[in-house]
Amino acid sequence: MTTPPSLYQLAVAGVQRLVPYVPGKPIEELQRELGLDRVIKLASNENPLGPSKKALAAMQKVLPELALYPDGSGFNLKNALAKKFSVEPTQITLGNGSNEILELVARAFLAPGLNAVFSQHAFAVYPIVVQAAGAKSVVAPAVNYGHDLQAFRESVNAETRVVFIANPNNPTGTLLSQSHLENFIKSLPVTCVCVIDEAYYEFVRRKDEQETIDWLGQCPNLIIARTFSKAYGLAGLRIGYCFSSPEMADILNRVRQPFNNNSLALAAAEAALDDGEHLQNTIKNNTLGMKQLTEGFSNLGLNWIPSAGNFVSVDLSEPAYPVYEGLLRKGVIVRPVANYDMPNHLRISIGTPEENNLFLQALTDCLNNV
């Protein structure tokens, strides 16, 4: 009698070896585990101010229509994005978060025998989507926790179909200069798709350099992924987008599932784009919060990686997981990043001034073993 295969053996090879992405611990889970009344979450780079009032009102307006399928083309949101960023609607692809954009790229361009290049310490989803497609991950060594574009270029070969660059990078917050990035993209072979992951785009404060969007006309192999999850405070709705050439957008839309964005997300995102005041308040809170946290780290004698995002990774100069667990017991959720080859670091999302103070006090107590 033949022994039947296990379910794991039935899965394709790339999926068999996958280690699932582990999200940040939810507030409710920690409250259940430890019986805590007050918990603050500074683990997932969410907007501590929440969504804008305009986005909330837009969702309220759509509620009576939830029995209907959403607009599968995202016509209104695409046109709002096109107007804001001076592109054509045909250059935009909508995703279930920018995370889905990464998966669409992998499904469209990767397969066994091909590879994708990304950096050491880069976003954990890159190796997941690459391996799920049966392709090979090529990890370029980082320099000072940031992307080394020379190492990237040396890693690209005839089998490379995709390069993933997070700018700013998560979880390190490091930022590449636009001039170096532009030169790198233009040096790539036309057979290689370059994805610039700009999930934290709104937090980058520079006005003297070109936007990546300006390169689309000369770089048909370029994809620029962004999201409404971070600065716009819509993480729970899962909506992102990317800019590319119309031809590239057509390819991505061939593998995109119909109705991948729900009606609430489409309405909220369109309204959020129109709420400049909320965005500016978010950026102001982030700037002040970054100063608050880094000054606190300095007072504790700790080093950190300068960050252009809405988070900062602090070096504890010792294994960080015990401190992470100590913070949990005090009702503070942060993000350990040992899986990013950073075992001594914790990544802290910028919170409100009160949340930042509570975290710094809890961190002080944990380091002093209080």
> What is the band of 266 on the pLDDT scale with cuts at 50, 70, 90?
very high
* % of the chain with per-residue pLDDT over 70: 97
Q: Which of 1-5, 254-258, 259-263 has the lowest mean pLDDT?
A: 1-5
194: left (phi over 0), alpha (psi -120 to 50) or beta: beta
pLDDT number for residue 14: 74
3-state helix, strand, coil in the chain (%, to 5): 45, 15, 40
- Whether residue 208 is predicted with pLDDT greater than 70 in this model: the reply is no
Contact criterion met (CB below 8 Å) for 119 and 169: yes
Give the residue-averaged pLDDT of 150-163. 97
Give the residue-averaged pLDDT of 265-293. 98
Q: What is the pLDDT of residues 52-72, one digit of tens each?
A: 999 999 999 999 999 999 999
294: left (phi over 0), alpha (psi -120 to 50) or beta: alpha
Pairing between strand 160-166 and 222-227?
A: unpaired
Helix axes 353-367, 276-299, angle to 10 degrees: 20
pLDDT number for residue 207: 59
φ and ψ at residue 312, rounded to 5 degrees:
-150, 140
Q: What is the pLDDT of residues 4-42, one digit of tens each?
A: 677 777 777 778 777 777 777 788 888 888 888 899 999
* pLDDT mean across residues, the chain: 94
> What is the band of 3 on the pLDDT scale with cuts at 50, 70, 90?
low
> What is the band of 289 on the pLDDT scale with cuts at 50, 70, 90?
very high
pLDDT number for residue 2: 62
> What is the band of 235 on the pLDDT scale with cuts at 50, 70, 90?
very high
CA 8, distance to chain mean position in Å, is 29
66-273 has CATH 3.40.1190.20 classification: no
pLDDT number for residue 121: 98
Contact criterion met (CB below 8 Å) for 139 and 172: no
> What is the band of 76 on the pLDDT scale with cuts at 50, 70, 90?
very high
Give the residue-averaged pLDDT of 175-195. 95
pLDDT number for residue 330: 96
For residue 312, the one-letter residue type is V
Contact criterion met (CB below 8 Å) for 328 and 362: no
27, exposed or middle or buried, with CB in 10 Å at 0-12, 13-18, 19+? middle
Question: Which CATH superfamily does the domain covering 7-50+277-367 fall into?
Answer: Aspartate Aminotransferase, domain 1 (3.90.1150.10)
Residues carrying CATH 3.40.640.10, the chain? 66-273
pLDDT number for residue 1: 53
pTM above 0.85, yes or no: yes
Residue with tokens 């962004």: 226
- Whether residue 370 is predicted with pLDDT greater than 60 in this model: the reply is no
Report the C-alpha gap between 335 and 359 in whole angstroms: 12
φ and ψ at residue 204, rounded to 5 degrees:
-80, 125
> What is the band of 286 on the pLDDT scale with cuts at 50, 70, 90?
very high
Give the residue-averaged pLDDT of 227-248. 98
pLDDT number for residue 4: 65
Report the C-alpha gap between 345 and 321 in whole angstroms: 9
Residues carrying CATH 3.90.1150.10, the chain? 7-50+277-367
Specify the DSSP class assigned to residue 146.
B
For residue 164, the one-letter residue type is F
Q: What is the pLDDT of residues 299-340, one digit of tens each?
A: 999 999 999 999 999 999 999 999 999 999 999 999 999 999
Report the C-alpha gap between 14 and 280 in whole angstroms: 43
